[in-house]
Amino acid sequence: MSLILSLENISAGYPGNDRVIKGISFGVDKGSFTGIIGPNGCGKSTLVRLIGRVVKPSAGNIKLMGKEIVQFGAKEFSRIVGIVSQEEADFPFTVKEAVLMGRIPHLKRLEFEKDADFNIADNVLKLTDTFHLRDKFLSELSSGERQRVMTAMALAQEPQLLILDEPTSHLDIGHGMQILDLLKKLNREKGITIIVVLHDLNLTAEYCDRIIFIDNGCIFKDGGPFDVLTYENIEAVYKTVVVVKENPVTKKPYLFPIPGDLCKRV
Amino acid sequence: MPKSNFMIIMGLLLLFAGAVIFGLSHGSAHIPWQELFLEKNRAIIYVRLLRIILACAAGSGLSVCGIVLQAVLRNALADPYLLGTSSGASLGAVTALALGFNVLYMPVAAFCGAALAVLIVYFVANERGRLYAHSLILAGVIVSIAFSGIVVFTVSISPNEALYGLMWWLWGSLEVYNVQVLSLVCAVVAIATAIIFIFYQDLNAISLGEERARYLGVNIELSKKILLILASLVTASLVCVCGVIGFVGLIVPHTVRLLCGANHRRLIPLSCLLGSVFMIFCDTLGRVLFAPVQVPIGVTTAIVGAPIFIILFKKRQKRL
């Protein structure tokens, strides 16, 4: 399989904290489903912003399909990579207008959307189960609906690589799994490469073929769910005791948290 | 859900026609609308027409600047004068008056002052080539306060005649002193508005968030700079000819957003139209109410604008 994305020895930071990412290297196969996990402040979101060219690396190269990402034009890049961020959007746009903005990378300045663009918008609205919301304002949506609409917007870009930064963070388990089911479907049926930053380790285990475990700006572990989600690894990074068992239906690892007071007694 | 665009556009065009007729026929001398085109009224109509043209330029220009600043600063309360143009222009004008320059040079001095203020704001806010919204707002406030302080100081040490000249800078006036300056300002407003419209996709994307705009392929740092420079140029030019007119840049874009959403492809042209109507209406009202004394336009815009805005705002709160 060929690599769609590769990071080579990437370091990056912000003013006042210039070592958020410390020499990370990894490649992402085309058509794969990768999860990124790690404690708060470990650099997961910075990694997304590095790939999205919002933050410039202080060292190292990021390549998209073999070409350095800085060499892509702004719209050219957005036709390949779609990123769903967690920013609040409070201006009164309708769902349909927002999703049509996903077509900006395919439009020239002043070029109005054509029938083809409207069809694509309708398709991604149906795909994300938000078609019935198309005339509502963004502010009228629940957080689950808004997350689906923002995913639809990124899908309207027709990306080959879709990156989501904590898409399930404000969602209940039903809506969270709805998003991840959608990503799985896109991955299987359309061959879109998925990278998803997640907090919920059990959901990560269920959906991701590969998990990159980040701790303190470095890759702590990188591999399949059973390799990465061991009780030793979890305890080393999160300082929390868990018991790992197999989900009887999916045969994926499942983590049972053990409260702190119980650990002391044992 | 947005109401039918066609109805809104037709309604605004009708309002515009009504405002123009109202503006032409009313004033210290009333001319019935049937007599608007008679020979004997030509001189009055000419003067009033110039005012209407300036009202359109100021109404559209301030509305579009408000739109740009609200989107770029992602702050619904941003006002065209937020980046220091008004206090800069006042300082320029006051300095020119205090130094004894002819009143004719006031627009030039005001423009220089506004430009200076905006340059300082950008210099202060600039962080390694990037302009962050919170830095711009803070820098704008600092420069405005500092410049206003200097204005008050200059006025307090200079003889009293200078004070009167300052009055209309503070409250605005659509009196046309010089047709050439008016045409120049109209051209600036028209060209800048056209260029800003070309950036409507960028404005849409930026109002959804800067990071998101980047992910949609918008070169935001460049777009932001171009948009802010254009907005500053328009506000500075307008301050030169009509002083500081508050509320328009805030209330007009908001009203249009409440009526038909935030899509800048509609928001920009409709705000120009509504801004023109609003300004013509307020100006005529200011001329008629206590004729022959004119109420400064800034006073009428605030008095007429605030209640309309409160009603719309309350309606929206109920709906959500």
Per-residue confidence (pLDDT) for residue B93, from 0 to 100: 79
Looking at domain B80-245, its CATH class is mainly alpha
Chain A: give the shortest CA distance to residue B176, in Å: 35
Q: Which residue ranges of chain B lie beneath pLDDT 50?
A: 1-2, 320
**How large is the ipTM?**
0.90
Partner-chain residue, chosen from A53, A90, A107, that has the shortest CB–CB distance to B214: A53
Q: Which residue of A has its CA nearest to B128?
A: A15
Residue A4 above 70 pLDDT? yes
Inter-chain contact B257–A137, Cβ cutoff 8 Å? no
- What is the predicted pLDDT for the residue at B164? 63
| pLDDT at residue B295, as a whole number | 83
Name the CA radius of gyration of chain B, rounded. Answer: 20
How many angstroms separate the Cα of B237 from the Cα of each of B99, B109, B190? Answer: 22, 11, 12
- A222: pLDDT confidence band, cut at 50, 70 and 90? very high
Contacts of B72 in chain A (CB under 8 A): none
What are the sequence ranges of the domains in chain A? 1-80+159-230, 93-158
Compute CA distances B86 → A4, A133, A153, B21, B113, whole Å: 52, 43, 39, 31, 9
Tokens of B46: 């000419």
Say if residue B307 is preceded by a cis peptide, omega within 30 of 0: no
Task: Give the model's pLDDT for residue A174.
Answer: 86
Q: Quick check: A28 and A5 in contact, CB under 8 A?
A: yes
**B77 CA to chain A: closest CA distance, Å?**
12
- In the structure encoding, which two tokens stand for residue B148, read together? 């206003």
Please name the residue of chain A whose CA is at the shortest distance from the CA of residue B214. Answer: A54
CB contact under 8 A, B198 and A110: yes
Q: What is the pLDDT of residue B317?
A: 66
φ and ψ of B246, to 5 deg: -80, 170
A-B interface: how many C-beta pairs under 8 angstroms?
87
pLDDT on residue B298: 86
- By C-alpha distance, which of B112, B237, B231 is closest to B183? B237
- When pLDDT is cut at 50, 70 and 90, the band that residue A265 belongs to is low
Tell me the pLDDT band of A47, cut-offs 50, 70 and 90.
Answer: very high
Quickly state the pLDDT bin for A5 (edges 50, 70, 90).
very high
A interface with B, Cβ–Cβ below 8 Å: 49, 52-54, 74-79, 81-83, 85, 87-94, 97-98, 101-102, 104-105, 107, 109-110, 112, 135-137, 139-140, 154, 157
- B293 in A contact zone (CB under 8 Å): no
Burial class (CB in 10 A: 0-12, 13-18, 19+), A216: middle
What CA–CA distance (Å, rounded) separates A172 from A203?
12
Q: Find the residue in B nearest to A81 (Cα).
A: B215
Contact A38, A46 (CB under 8 A): no
Q: Which residue of B has its CA nearest to A78?
A: B217
The residue ranges of DSSP E strands in chain B, in sequence order, are: 126-127, 130-131
pLDDT of residue A1: 62
Nearest C-alpha neighbor of B76 from the set B308, B304, B258 = B258
Residue B131 near chain A (CB below 8 Å): no
**Chain B residues touching residue A52 (CB < 8 angstroms):** 211, 214-215
Contact B208 A93 (CB under 8 A): yes
Mean pLDDT across A189-209: 93
Could you tell me which of A191, A176, A98 has the C-alpha nearest to residue A144?
Answer: A176
pLDDT attached to residue B2: 45
A65 compared with B127, residue with greater pLDDT: A65
Return the SS3 of A31. Answer: coil
Domain boundaries A1-80+159-230, corresponding CATH code: 3.40.50.300
Integer Rg of chain A from CA = 19
Establish if B208 touches chain A: CB-CB under 8 angstroms.
yes
How far is A154 from chain B, CA to nearest CA, in Å? 8
Chain A residue at shortest CA distance from B130: A54
Q: Where in chain B is the domain with CATH 1.10.3470.10?
A: 80-245
DSSP output for A102-160: TTGGGS-TTPPP-HHHHHHHHHHHHHTT-GGGTTSBGGGS-HHHHHHHHHHHHHHT--S
| B chain contacts of residue A95, beta-carbon cutoff 8 Å | none
What tokens were used for A204? 């990560």
User: pLDDT tens, A92-131?
Assistant: 899 999 999 999 999 988 888 889 999 999 999 998 889 9
